[in-house]
Amino acid sequence: MQAIVDKEGIKRYLISLTVNGDTYTVVVKANTMLVNVLREELNLTGTKKGCETGDCGSCTVIMDGKPVNSCIILALEADGKEITTIEGVAQNGVLDKLQESFLNQTAVQCGYCTPGMILSAKALLTRNPNPTEHEIREAIAGNLCRCTGYVNIVKAIKEAAGQPVDEH
Amino acid sequence: MSENTIHNNDYAVIGKSVPRIDGREKVTGAAKYTGDLKFPNMLYGKILTSPHAHARILSIDTSEAEKLAGVKAVITHKDVPSLKYGISPARWDENIFCIDKVRFVGDKVAAVACIDEETCYKALKLIKVEYEVLPAVLDPLTAMDEGQPLVHEEYERNINTEIHQEFGDMENAFKNAHHIRKDRFVGQRTYQSPIEPHSAISMWQDGKLTIYSSTQSPHYFQYYIAREFGMKMGDVRILKTYVGGGFGGKLEPTGLEFAGAVLAKNTGRPVKMFYDRAEMFAHNRGRHAQYMEITSAVDKDGKILGCHTNFIMDGGAYTSLGIASAYYAGALLPLTYEFDNYKFDMFRVYTNLPACGAQRGHGAPQPKYAFECHLDEIARDLNIDPLEIRIRNARRPNTVTPNDFGINSCEIKSCLERAGAMSGWAEKKGKLPKGRGIGVATGSFVSGAGYPIYRTNLPHASAMIKVHEDGTAATLYTGAVDIGQGSDTVLSQMAAEAMGFVYEQMKIVAADTETTPHDFGAYASRQTLMSGAAVKQAGEEVKRQLLDMAASMLQRPVYDLDVKAGEIFSISDSSVSLSFSDAAREFFVRRGPLVGKGSYTPPKLGGKFKGAAVGTSPAYSFCAQVSEVQIDEETGVIDVLDVWDVHDCGMVINPGLLHGQVHGALFMGLGESIWEQVLFDDKGKIVNANLAEYRLPTALDMPKVHSGLIDSYEPAGPWGVKEVGEGSTNPTMGCFANAIYDAMGVRINSLPLTYEKVWRALKEKREKEQAQK
Ligand code: FES
Ligand code: FES
């Protein structure tokens, strides 16, 4: 990895990462977190920060197929990785079925947890298209939501998996 | 879950679960919250806080920090107005920065503005504050004792608020009682924990201050900021972007707005200030811990004759919204059950801990927990079924509480009966296997406060609707604040319904003190009723003007015309029709902008005694909850299996959003019941100021929820609406405590009802039983 040292002796690294299909090259410090690269450098503010300690899941993105908390991933670790953020979920302005089902099931309130929830759910459905309710709950157990009690979020994920959903 | 029929038959837009107006933006990540905004030349700001619970400030030296490259401004109390603030005028006790002493770990001392976040943290470390540490008051129960240090010198014995109210004839009620019972309960300090941290971006232009803030009430911020800086309110603009939840925690100004305004002024640049999660916990303003003693007198049928509540609450270092919390704690208790004699004593005491304020349900949920447990104990003493004793005491519609709150609609009895039927109460009560139990409790809340937070004769809500020139869309301008609950959606539905228009073509501009008309904002569950009433009036004004135009276009008398879902029609002749858009366009051509406006002020409410205003409301919601739990005898682990929640919340505008409120309230109640508690070390520092150790329930913890509605109509609300978001928080803690008792025969008298407490109680019970053998 290419590194340069600034006047104060702080090392900076040139990394390259693919976000939502596009490759970006950015200069980061050893302690720069992925979430800050996404939000500050690439202006992808759909990735939220709720705690910056890996506890809330608001900053979830998919990295090489796995959901990760981007606030505890060093930008250096993301070098050469494929990342999907919430901005990359809809394709050409067409919503993903999870985004549709979140709307249908009133699974969004304040919306702050929503990007992370959708990405955790997306990673789940990609590896397990027909999850049980328990598997759904496990998959989003690292994503805290203070508004919905997860009730409608679980329903939305079921709907996106093509499963029947009780009316209330 | 089942949903009852609601009054939706005659309406085109309301009563339907239309999708959220902001849904698409939120699911695509396009929705911007304050922390997502950037402005050219923007600086970052942070606040330096106190490491001590109680200490005198001897000196502050900012010179080193000022020298650091990238630091643009450093401010302390010398650089800001010294006028005290707070949201309750009777108790203004907080300064932008501490002047002579700090009063809790986290109290505000200084602030910096720098070119980036990292420089801020470095600069904060370079500010040297010399403290003389003072003995701290950490225990609310001894805070009032003689000889304790004083948190504020002007408040003797650390008493922040003292309430003594008595209604009816208590002496007689107790003299004639068949049974008298006294119980004591303890509630814990919890924190709202919205997932979005607070932030504020301040900027000045030509003497005008603009602040983007994650706030529940732009109006109050505007008022307090103008007051603090001696500015005209018209020169202060507060607006919010999307807000990531509030639950009461974003209702009052934080240091971020005040410090940011000064830093932005001194640097001439926009300044973004923000709290991280630990700072949010330190700022706090969460739920007060309450120490609650309740004594009730009942007749032989379990009918409550009189009740005395005697409470102490830990207010923390400042008043915050706590004066209202203190009144609410006792004032709202007589809502659900009918009795004439009531006495309420309360001390809210200062301690050297973070200030407490308004958390969902305000002061009410803990007293409700206490009272619901107490009522179950009374039922057991008298051998009456817990559901039955509640039905016997349930408030009836069109009654008045002992403290002079007028109740219009009230279906609490039906809520109880329905929750009983849905849960299979009769088949389950007393018949469940050991370890499994069922409990019941009720709740109620105001639909907006009868009086504003500060003294003013402004209307509580107002609204404006502008129909676009070509008639194809309409924009609602409202000061109401959507913090996630969905008010933008509900108010847009109401606007469309009142105008005879369609929801799909509604646009909304909300919560901006410059472009939208005044509204007090999101607190006390007020917006559906109060903001809704203003919106309805505005819509009806549009409709009147539109039909007047249509009458002239169609050459028909105006009384023969009506409009619904975007179509104008004749009442007498079904062949006549004209579209809303065509008539609205013609209106613009002939008469100019088609605009409607409305405002709402509640009627004069409440009695004449001291504190009579707090708790008044045009309408009250009611609900009943039944829950079933499973307890593991070995470990004390509590598993909540099912919850049945039945609500009387008047006409429902958007059932999807309404049930969402019920789910969220239950979730918060679940957390507060079992896990959530802000804990301190012996120096007054929070030990679990993070989301790993302050344990919010996860998706794996939530029980099955069955949410039902009782058909009801509230005459004081537009289309018969009333609140749901906070009242539904009230029953949960008591309901679970009662279910645990039913399962195991142990009463947990303090919150949270942790596994450990259950385990200990079971152990004690076993030991006692063994000793008796
Ligand atoms: S912000 Fe990354 S887990 Fe909370
Ligand atoms: S919708 Fe608000 S945190 Fe989940």
The 10s digit of each residue's pLDDT in B254-288 is 999 999 999 999 999 999 999 999 999 999 999 99
> Is B706's Cβ below 8 Å from some Cβ in A?
yes
B243 CB neighbours in chain A (<8 A) are 110
Handedness of CA B644, B647, B652, B657 (dihedral sign): negative
Which listed CATH number (3.40.720.10, 1.10.540.10, 3.10.20.30, 3.40.630.10) goes with A2-88? 3.10.20.30
What's the mean pLDDT when you consider all of chain B? 96
Interface test with B, best of A106, A138, A153, A158 (most B CBs within 10 A): A106
Going by DSSP bridges, is the β-strand pair B179-186/B436-446 parallel, antiparallel, or unpaired?
unpaired
Output the CA angle B154-B158-B164, nearest 5 degrees.
105
* HSE (side-chain half, CA atoms, 13 Å) at B381: 20
> Smallest Cβ distance to B23: which of A58, A108, A137?
A108
Indicate whether B418 pLDDT > 50. yes
Q: Indicate the helix (H) or strand (E) that contains B124.
A: helix B117-126
Indicate whether B1 pLDDT > 80. no
Residues A53, B195: C-beta atoms closer than 8 Å: no
Size of interface A-B (CB pairs under 8 A): 179
Ligand nearest to the CA of B192: 2
| Per-residue confidence band for B89, with pLDDT thresholds at 50, 70 and 90 | confident
The CATH code belonging to domain B8-31+460-600 is 3.30.365.10
Going by DSSP bridges, is the β-strand pair B43-49/B271-274 parallel, antiparallel, or unpaired?
parallel
Pair B740, B630: CB distance under 8 Å: no
Cα–ligand 2 centroid distance for B195 (angstroms): 7
- Cα–Cα distance measured from residue B119 to residue B423, given in angstroms and rounded to the nearest whole number: 58
What pTM does this model have?
A: 0.97
Pair B615, B446: CB distance under 8 Å: yes
| Per-residue confidence band for A38, with pLDDT thresholds at 50, 70 and 90 | very high
Cα–ligand 2 centroid distance for B695 (angstroms): 16
- Cα–Cα distance measured from residue B454 to residue B86, given in angstroms and rounded to the nearest whole number: 10
pLDDT at position B6 is: 43
| Per-residue confidence band for A168, with pLDDT thresholds at 50, 70 and 90 | low
Cα–ligand 1 centroid distance for A37 (angstroms): 14
Closest CA relative to residue B667, chosen from B119, B129, B247: B247
Find where tokens 């679990």 sit.
B688
Residues B667, A149: C-beta atoms closer than 8 Å: yes
Q: Name B109's Cβ contacts closer than 8 Å, sequence gap at least 6.
A: B47, B48, B49, B50, B57, B60, B76, B97, B98, B102, B127, B129
- How large is the average pLDDT for residues B191-204? 98
Residue of B nearest to A99 (CA): B27
pLDDT at position A6 is: 87
3-state secondary structure of B749: coil
Pair B629, B439: CB distance under 8 Å: yes
Indicate whether B2 pLDDT > 60. no
- How large is the average pLDDT for residues A113-121? 98
Indicate whether B750 pLDDT > 90. yes
Residue identifier of the C-alpha nearest atom 3 of ligand 1? A54
| CA–CA min distance A69, chain B (Å) | 14
Pocket test for ligand 2, best of A58, A103, A109, A140 (most atoms within 8 A of CB): A109
Which listed CATH number (3.40.50.720, 3.40.50.300, 1.10.150.120, 1.10.287.130) goes with A97-160? 1.10.150.120
Length of chain A: 168
Nearest atom in ligand 2 to A117's CA: 4
pLDDT above 70 covers a percentage of chain B that reads 99
Residues A146, B664: C-beta atoms closer than 8 Å: yes
- How large is the average pLDDT for residues B490-500? 98
Cα–ligand 2 centroid distance for B523 (angstroms): 18
Residue identifier of the C-alpha nearest atom 2 of ligand 2? A110
DSSP B465-518: EEE-TTSS-EEEEE----SSS-HHHHHHHHHHHHHT--GGGEEEEESBTTTS--
| CA–CA min distance A56, chain B (Å) | 7
- How large is the average pLDDT for residues B422-445? 97
Closest CA relative to residue B322, chosen from B278, B365, B367, B359: B359
Residue of A nearest to B706 (CA): A168
Chain-centroid distance, C-alpha B287:
10
Q: For CATH 3.30.365.10, list the domain ranges present in chain B.
A: 8-31+460-600, 364-450+615-772
Residues B195, A145: C-beta atoms closer than 8 Å: yes
SS (H, E, C) B60-92: EECHHHHHCCCEEEEECHHHCCCCCECCCHHHC
Indicate whether B304 pLDDT > 90. yes
Cα–ligand 1 centroid distance for B693 (angstroms): 14
- Per DSSP, B355 falls in state P
pLDDT at position A159 is: 98
CB atoms within 10 A of CB B8: 15
The CATH code belonging to domain B364-450+615-772 is 3.30.365.10
Indicate whether A1 pLDDT > 90. no
> Is B35's Cβ below 8 Å from some Cβ in A?
yes
Indicate whether B387 pLDDT > 90. yes
pLDDT at position B4 is: 39
Q: What is the ipTM of this complex?
A: 0.98
Nearest atom in ligand 1 to A59's CA: 2
- How large is the average pLDDT for residues B375-389? 98
| CA–CA min distance A97, chain B (Å) | 11
Pair B513, B239: CB distance under 8 Å: yes
Q: For CATH 3.90.1170.50, list the domain ranges present in chain B.
A: 34-134+197-243+250-283
What's the mean pLDDT when you consider all of chain A? 97
| CA–CA min distance A57, chain B (Å) | 10
Q: For CATH 3.10.20.30, list the domain ranges present in chain A.
A: 2-88
> Smallest Cβ distance to A141: which of B26, B197, B700?
B700
Pocket test for ligand 2, best of A106, A140, A145 (most atoms within 8 A of CB): A145
DSSP B510-552: ESBTTTS--B--SSTT-IIIIIHHHHHHHHHHHHHHHHHHHHH
Indicate whether B145 pLDDT > 50. yes
Residue identifier of the C-alpha nearest atom 4 of ligand 2? A145
Pocket test for ligand 2, best of A58, A110, A117, A150 (most atoms within 8 A of CB): A110
Written out in words, the top-level CATH class of the domain with range B34-134+197-243+250-283 is alpha beta
Indicate whether B69 pLDDT > 50. yes
Give B595-641 pLDDT, tens digit per residue: 999 999 999 999 999 999 999 999 999 999 999 999 999 999 999 99
Pair B716, B530: CB distance under 8 Å: no
Q: Is the CB of A102 under 6 A from ligand 2?
A: no
pLDDT at position B17 is: 96
Chain-centroid distance, C-alpha B389:
29
pLDDT at position B9 is: 60
- Cα–Cα distance measured from residue B765 to residue B770, given in angstroms and rounded to the nearest whole number: 9
- Cα–Cα distance measured from residue B260 to residue B237, given in angstroms and rounded to the nearest whole number: 14
Q: Is the CB of A148 under 6 A from ligand 2?
A: yes
Cα–ligand 2 centroid distance for B672 (angstroms): 17
Ligand nearest to the CA of A69: 1
Q: Is the CB of A113 under 6 A from ligand 2?
A: yes
B24 CB neighbours in chain A (<8 A) are 95, 103
Residue identifier of the C-alpha nearest atom 3 of ligand 2? A145
| Per-residue confidence band for B8, with pLDDT thresholds at 50, 70 and 90 | very low
Q: For CATH 1.10.150.120, list the domain ranges present in chain A.
A: 97-160
Residues B660, A153: C-beta atoms closer than 8 Å: no
> Is B116's Cβ below 8 Å from some Cβ in A?
no
3-state secondary structure of B333: helix
3-state secondary structure of A40: helix
Residues A102, B245: C-beta atoms closer than 8 Å: no
DSSP B645-698: EEEE-BS-S-HHHHHHHHHHHHHHHHHHHHT----B-TTS-BS--STTTS----
- Per DSSP, B426 falls in state H
Q: Is the CB of A147 under 6 A from ligand 2?
A: yes
Nearest atom in ligand 1 to A49's CA: 1
Q: Phi and psi of B322, rounded to 5°?
A: -65, -20
> Is B690's Cβ below 8 Å from some Cβ in A?
yes
Nearest atom in ligand 2 to B244's CA: 2
